[in-house]
Structure 1
Amino acid sequence: MSRAFVTGLKGTVLSAEERAFLTEAAPWGLILFRRNVESPDQLKRLTGDFRDAVSWQAPVLIDQEGGRVQRMTAPLWRKYPSGRRLAGAAGLAGDDRLIADVAHLIGDDLAAVGIDVDCAPCLDIATPDMTPAIGDRSYGERPDLVAAAGRAFADGLMAAGLLPVIKHVPGHGRAKVDSHHELPVVDADLESLASADFMPFAALADLPAAMTAHLVYTAIDPVHPATQSRVVIEEVVRGRIGFDGLLFSDDLSMNALKGTLAERARATLAAGCDIALHCSGDMIEMAAVAAEAPELVGKAAARAERALKARGGSPHDDPDGVLARLDAALAAYDAVAV
């Protein structure tokens, strides 16, 4: 039986040590980064070797948003625009299908190499002083437009057979510092958060998977970051927002979280995250996280099963037409933006 964590790997091939770890520790899934990506054939071997090691068709995740966050990129894969640029171009062109069609092509790229979960779309609302770590990954400042763009992107991924993971619930847009390096603290009142930050997540609460934010929201829990706050997860994510899908933590290796990796994993799972996400590929850290991850059972297992059933699709039937529309829309948008 799988255990309630997702792990990373160090490089482009599965080492003997990693294979033994995967077989013994039985993570629910694998997440890939640019350090793991060399070529299409190499990725097919890596994802296949991972699944051989865990002995089932386990999920393989990646962050493939477009823009700065695209692990599979040029020259072997097309470089897609950021969320902000894609949404802006689609809006200017009046092309209601463009975002979904582009996401479908991204999904096709991933499915072709054995990846079936995309940690996207990013539903964080843009604010004037937000950290550049979010920046143009956000679709914009208006909650309704962010929700619409996120819905279209998720629909496109699912049409390609990919499981989308909405992030970073309940909203990362007010963070002024990068949670990869330090813990952001958001002092906005609950009403302000509910009327803006939470809204895209509530609009997409029916989707099968989401990822938390490593942020402290002082109006909700002044001590614990959302990832490790039972109050935030129970009262806001599961309560106000109404999300009942599979809940991943953001990466436990990020410096916003304190303590050892074992302590971070323990606190994250105790707070109500279904899956602890650990990305570094460091074997000592991987073992520490695995030791804290219980077997995936109960509500978490049911959510995981529902999420995996959401997979299943087919390649887009007109990729050249989508790319032509995208290039034309981006050219018009960039001309106006300049």
Structure 2
Amino acid sequence: MSYHAPLIIDIAGCQLNKADKKRLKHPLVGGLILFARNWESREQLTELCASIKKIRADLLICVDHEGGRVQRFKTDGFTHLPPMRALGELWRQDGQGNEGEGAMRATAAATACGYVLGAELRACGVDLSFTPVLDLDYGASSVIGDRAFDADARVVSLLAKSLMHGLLQSGMANCGKHFPGHGHVTADSHTDMPVDTRSLAAILQDDAAPYRWLANSLASVMPAHVVYPAVDDRPAGFSSKWLNGILRGQLGFTGAIFSDDLSMAGARVIHGQPVSTTQAALAALNAGCDLVLLCNQSLGDGAEIDALIEGLTKAQYRGQWEPLEASQARRLALFPTKRATSWDALMVQPAYMQALDLLP
């Protein structure tokens, strides 16, 4: 078993610089997340991914590429994917005298979205997209909004499963987010600390239901930087009660758990006290996360990334954190399951062309 590498970091530009290469070689770094600033063209993205794999083939290349307003690559041939709400709306557009037709069209469209999304990314060398969003659309959260499929957990679950089937057809794994649910709070965890005061029973009945129904289909899960005080005064991503007790123990999830971005405001306060990035990473890992993300910190001198790598290394030597073989196995299980189709071959592939026709 290879060494557990829990850190997912970012890079500054469209090519690797000397500092990027040094960080990516560190044994605690297990992958990186790409952003729009890392994009110029398909050719450049493909070359960038190849250069990353040349450093270490076991680095997981990730991106937030959901469709709608959260889609990092939108030009040079990439399909503009619809927001997930469009699939929920399609579900509810039943044909006259043919009950259920809208639902069936929506699930077919969701599978098509997943296939197009995964196949296009994989053709350029990207391993994993953090999708699908499993949050419910209560109309309260502006940061979630049309990223959610629907307000009904049953509709969300079936559309997400259909999208995940399309991802699987392309060879890509999946990541359900944001456990146990971000849709009920108005605050944005990028800038604030959202608090959801509902009971555990209410959350399990509604928001967390997709995680129960999809536990055997989800490859990975990303918890929310939201506090649910009825269960724990820590945000879910730092709570063993939520991750080990409920997600794994009660709901039966066995895949990888990613922290959400540790640079977000919702990740920088625990028990009402501000914490450093290293303290946040240790809290997430010790609560049950297998992998921790630190985003948008490579710009400038990248001091925050270097401090996290150094801090986590020291913490390991001091016994404050234990690398787990199980966590490494779960990370490795997120890599693509088959060889990617090249872009030119994909463009004339019948399954891909059929999927494009099915998009809403």
Q: Report the TM-score, using the length of structure 1 for normalisation.
A: 0.90
- Between the aligned partners of 1:143 and 1:10, the Cα distance in structure 2 is 38
Contact 2:139 2:145 (C-alpha < 8 Å) held by counterparts: no
Tell me the alpha carbon deviations over residues 281-313 of structure 1, each in whole angstroms, 9 at most, x when there is no partner: 422111122231658532212222333375667
The residue matched to 1:65 in structure 2 has which SS? strand
Structure 1 gap ranges (5+): 331-338
SS across alignment from 2:185 = coil
Distance (whole Å) between structure 2 residues aligned to residue 311 and residue 218 of structure 1: 43
Matches within 5 A, 1:1-338: 1-53=3-55, 55-74=56-75, 76-89=77-90, 91-92=92-93, 93=102, 94-95=104-105, 96-129=107-140, 131-206=141-216, 207-221=218-232, 223-258=233-268, 259-282=275-298, 283-291=302-310, 292=312, 296-308=323-335, 310=337, 317-326=350-359, 330=360
Q: CA RMSD in A?
A: 1.9
Q: Secondary structure at the match of 2:24?
A: helix
Q: Is the 8 A contact 1:159 1:313 kept in 2?
A: no
User: 1:186·1:217 contact (CA, 8 Å) conserved in 2?
Assistant: yes
In structure 2, C-alpha distance between the alignment counterparts of 1:320 and 1:305, rounded to whole Å: 31
Identity of aligned residues (%): 30
8 Å contact from structure 1 (residues 208, 310) kept in 2: no
- The residue that corresponds to 2:97 in the other structure is none
| Distance (Å, rounded) in 2 between the aligned partners of 1:243 and 1:173 | 21
Change in 2 beyond 3 A, CA 1:175/1:275:
same
Q: Contact conserved, 2:112 with 2:358, CA < 8 A, in 1?
A: no
Measure, in 2, the Cα distance between the counterparts of 1:19 and 1:35: 18
Are the aligned partners of 2:115 and 2:355 in contact in 1 as well (CA < 8 Å)?
A: no
**Matched residue type, 1:275:** L
What is the rounded CA distance, in whole Å, between the counterparts of 1:310 and 1:184 in structure 2?
37
The answer to whether the Cα contact below 8 Å between 2:122 and 2:340 also exists between their aligned partners in 1 is: no
For residues 308 and 242 of structure 2, the distance between their equivalents in structure 1, rounded to whole angstroms, comes to: 22
Distance 1:306 1:19, change over 3 A: closer
* Contact 2:261-2:267 at 8 Å conserved across structures: no
Structure 2 gaps, min length 5: 94-101, 269-274, 317-321
CA distances 1:230-257 after superposition (whole Å, capped 9, x unpaired): 1111221112222111100001111112
* CA distance in 1 between partners of 2:114 and 2:297 (Å): 28
Distance in 1 (alpha carbons) for counterparts of 2:253 and 2:338: 19
Which stretch shows the higher mean deviation, 133-142 or 283-292? 283-292
- Are the equivalent residues in 2 in contact too, given 1:170–1:212 (CA < 8 A)? yes
For the residues of structure 1 that align with 2:58 and 2:20, how far apart are their CA atoms? 18
8 A contact 1:180–1:254 mirrored in 2: yes
Determine the C-alpha separation between the residues in 2 that align with 1:313 and 1:13.
22
* Code of the aligned partner of 1:37: W
CA distance in 1, matches of 2:166, 2:354: 15
Task: Specify whether residues 101 and 309 from structure 1 end up closer, same or farther in structure 2 by C-alpha distance, changes over 3 A only.
Answer: closer
Counterpart-to-counterpart distance in 1, 2:204 and 2:244? 15
Q: Which stretch shifts more, 266-275 or 311-320?
A: 311-320
CA 1:66–1:181 in structure 2 vs 1: closer, same or farther (change >3 Å)? same
| Local SS of the residue matching 1:31 | strand
Judge conservation of contact 1:165–1:210 (CA < 8 Å) in 2: yes
Counterpart residue identity of residue 38, structure 1: E
Question: Whole-Å Cα distance in 1 between the matches of residues 339 and 87 of structure 2?
Answer: 25
Aligned partners of 1:165 and 1:211 also within 8 Å: yes
1:307 is paired with a residue whose SS is coil
